[in-house]
Structure 1
Amino acid sequence: MRDLPSFTLAGYDKGRGLLTQALWFAVMNTVFMAWFCPARLRVSLLRAFGAKIGEGVLIRHKVRVLWPWKLTVGDHAWIGEGVWVLNLEPVTIGSHVCLSQEAMLCTGSHDHRAADFRYRNAPITVEDGAWVAVRATVLAGVTVGRCAVAGAGAVVHQDLPELTLQTQDGRRRPVEEPK
């Protein structure tokens, strides 16, 4: 039986104080996610809150990032409309990565074996040239390898080797390196 009232944030570090968290939520929900916010301004806002963002990064509207200070993005990455980076732990996105519409990177989970449902979080890495397709989900602790593809609707719960495609039904097969 779960004892949810006993859940605590023990061992979880948000990385910034309450004022910074509140300011980020205000900025994210009023400007950053808005359709009228230019992509360059989104990059600047993330950098202002501590994200490490490379050159030529495109971030579309409706993107949510829980904690910018726990985000690193390489050069020339695309982050599509509605992507959710739920980064309780660090997320590293390589260069020339595409995160398609409504993809989710989720570094947080709970220990289903513990009555107090404590956190079981882990970082995520998406290596250079990878593609996380529309509505694909990458879960805590996973590395998506170089030029790998998490296909549309896939749930990636274990490392995805380089040059591998994972489909929605969990099947994996090799893919050719992009030319």
Structure 2
Amino acid sequence: MRDLSSFTLAGYDKGRGRLVQALWFAVMNLVFMAWWCPPRLRVALLRAFGATVGERVLIRHRVRVLWPWKLTVGDHTWIGEGAWLLNLEPVTIGRHVCVSQEALLCTGSHDHRAADFRYRNAPITVEDGAWIAARATVLAGATVGRHAVVGAGAVLHQDLPGLTLLTADGGRRPVEEPA
């Protein structure tokens, strides 16, 4: 039987102390997510809090990042309005990647078989040239291959090979490499 009162954060490392976490939440909610915050400032704020962010990265407003120090983003990548990077574990996004509006990359989960519902987290990797389309979800432990597409509204719970499209109904088909 599940006993949620026995859940603890035992074994989970947030990567920074409470003061830095609180400061990030204040900056994220008051400045980073705001429509008036310039994209260059968003990149600078992520870097200031420990993210590795490449050149010419575009981050739109309403993007949420749980822990910047667990985020790596390659050159020329776009992260669309309202995307949520729920990165309890590292998220690595390659070069020339598009994470579209309201997409969710979630590295956290729970062990539903354990009475204490303990964490079962795992990192996410999005390889160069991939596209996570609008309102798509990539779950803990998945890798999105080079030039693969997680279609609008699709849920990815396992690795997606390069040059493959995952559709919202779970179908997969090959895609051509961009010219």
Fold similarity call, TM over 0.5: yes
Aligned to 2:111: 111
- Post-superposition shift, 1:42? 0.1
Asked if 1:24 corresponds to 2:24, the answer is: yes
Q: 1:35: which partner in 2?
A: 35
CA deviation vs aligned residue, 1:12-57 (integer Å, no higher than 9, x gap):
0000000000000000000000000000000000000000000000
* TM superposition shift of 1:75: 0.1
What's the offset of the Cα at 1:90?
0.2
For residue 140 of structure 2, what is the aligned residue in structure 1?
A: 140
Partner secondary structure for residue 62 of structure 2: coil
C-alpha displacement of 1:100 = 0.2
Equivalent in the alignment of 1:44: 44
C-alpha distance in structure 2 between counterparts of 1:121 and 1:150, whole Å: 21
Aligned letter for 1:116? D
TM-score, normalized by length of structure 2?
1.00
Partners of 1:21 and 1:6 lie apart in 2 by 24
Q: TM-score, normalised by structure 1?
A: 1.00
Q: How does 1:16-165 map to 2 (within 5 A)?
A: 16-165=16-165
Q: Which runs of 4+ in 1 moved over 2 A?
A: none
User: 1:84 is aligned with what amino acid?
Assistant: W
- Deviation digits for residues 42-92 of structure 1, max 9, x if unmatched? 000000000000000000000000000000000000000000000000000
2:105 is paired with a residue whose SS is: strand
Task: Please state if 1:176 is matched with 2:143.
Answer: no
Stretches of structure 1 that go unaligned for 5 or more consecutive residues are none
Distance (whole Å) between structure 1 residues aligned to residue 60 and residue 38 of structure 2? 8
Displacement of 1:109 in angstroms is: 0.1
What is the rounded CA distance, in whole Å, between the counterparts of 2:170 and 2:20 in structure 1? 39
Aligned length: 179
- Aligned to 2:173, the other structure's residue is in SS state strand
1:173: Cα distance to partner?
0.5
Structure 2 unmatched ranges of 5 or more:
none
- Kindly provide the amino acid, as one letter, of the partner of residue 117 in structure 1: F
